[in-house]
Amino acid sequence: MIDYLYISTMLATNSLFSLILNLVTLLGNSAFYVIIISLIYWFSDRKFGKFLFITLGFSALFVSITKIIFLDSRPYWFDNNILLSTSSSSFGLPSGHALISLVILSLLFLNARKLYFKLICLLLIPAIGLSRIYLGVHYPYQIIFGWLFGIIILYLIFSSHLPISKWWNNMNFKYQLSLLLSFSFFIIIFCIMLVNYYEILLTSNSAETVYNVKALNILSVNTIFFPLGFLSGIIISEILYKYSKISDFSYTKIHVLIKFIVGFSILYLLYYINSYFEIEISFIIGILIGLWILLFCPILFKSSIR
């Protein structure tokens, strides 16, 4: 077992080490990958960017659902000696940072042409996972399970994404929209039932323990609203994109700069609104973020994405 008291003491006495670990752990945040994939989608390769966004959306939703299923604690719930420089309001298993970074960085690694970029991707995967352990927000097994789930997701992607894409593209607009609404409804109902079951279970079994009190405080279906909305926004954008007409042309450097500034300013504003209101409109904000990145911004600037 990791000596978390030793690690927290080391972090408290070594500000440079703490700063490095916090910077590394940020590279596993889903918002970081939204920025990276937006750049790919807007300025480089629309097809690959769309593929990454769909993968990110499903991965983030999978993490949110499995956290509710496993209901596993984090190290600092029980050890007050851990001096946190970062924290999370969700459960610990699996590690979302470990899972999402492994999936997205692996896909970036396979698509990269430059050797140095491939090396960066390979080094970041274990570095992000280890940073979560050192910062005291995950147990080692939670990181390992995050990697294992990530490997399973990658396997499913490579084994089934082509037939699923073909099946999806052969549907008409009404069937696609109906399937999306049915999927969203099923996920929400399933998680509501699961949360209600756990709340009954926890309150009937010594809810005065540290674990049960903490679990009751954060146990909520709201954690799935944003990733579900984001994924829905991506899929809706892809459906509507087929009916939009985006002109392809070579645009100047100033055009690229304006698109970059406006694109990420709106994206930041949407994330800020989501963090401010959080629960109330997270599903809607998730949809708007997906629509802005994949549809509205490209249409606004008539991007030369291909």
Q: Is residue 226 in a domain?
A: no
Candidate ranges 66-70, 95-99, 132-136, 221-225; pick with highest mean pLDDT: 95-99
In the predicted structure, residue 2 carries a pLDDT above the cut 60 = no
> What per-residue confidence (pLDDT) applies to 5?
44
CA nearest neighbour of 134 among 40, 22, 233: 22
For 207, other C-beta atoms within 10 Å of its C-beta total 14
Q: Is residue 193 in a domain?
A: no
pLDDT band (50, 70, 90) for residue 305: very low
Query: What single letter denotes the amino acid at residue 20?
Result: I
In the predicted structure, residue 301 carries a pLDDT above the cut 90 = no
Cα distances (Å, whole numbers) of residue 67 to 48, 62, 90: 28, 9, 7
Of 101-105, 135-139, 215-219, 231-235, give the lowest mean pLDDT range. Answer: 215-219
Helix, strand and coil percent figures for the chain, each rounded to 5: 75, 0, 25
The structure tokens listed for 44 are 């480089």
Q: Is residue 68 in a domain?
A: yes
Q: Is residue 99 in a domain?
A: yes
pLDDT in tens, 246-262: 554 445 667 778 888 88
| 3-class SS of residue 89 | coil
- Please state the domain count of the chain: 1
pLDDT in tens, 215-240: 666 667 778 888 899 999 998 888 88
Distance, C-alpha 22 to centroid of its chain: 18
- Please give the Cα distance from 101 to 126 (Å, whole number): 9
Show the domain range for 19: 1-161
Q: Is residue 4 in a domain?
A: yes
Q: Is residue 40 in a domain?
A: yes
What average pLDDT is seen over the chain?
81
The structure tokens listed for 161 are 């994404």
> What per-residue confidence (pLDDT) applies to 3?
44
Please give the backbone phi and psi of residue 3, each rounded to the nearest 5 degrees, phi first. -80, 95
What's the pTM value of the predicted model, to 2 decimals? Answer: 0.85
pLDDT in tens, 164-202: 888 888 888 788 888 888 988 898 888 888 878 887 777
- Mapping DSSP onto H, E and C, the string for 223-268 reads HHHHHHHHHHHHHHHHHHHCCCCCCCCCCCHHHHHHHHHHHHHHHH
pLDDT in tens, 33-88: 999 999 999 888 888 999 999 999 999 999 989 988 888 888 877 766 655 555 66
> What per-residue confidence (pLDDT) applies to 13?
44
The structure tokens listed for 97 are 């940072």
In the predicted structure, residue 137 carries a pLDDT above the cut 90 = no
Q: Is residue 100 in a domain?
A: yes
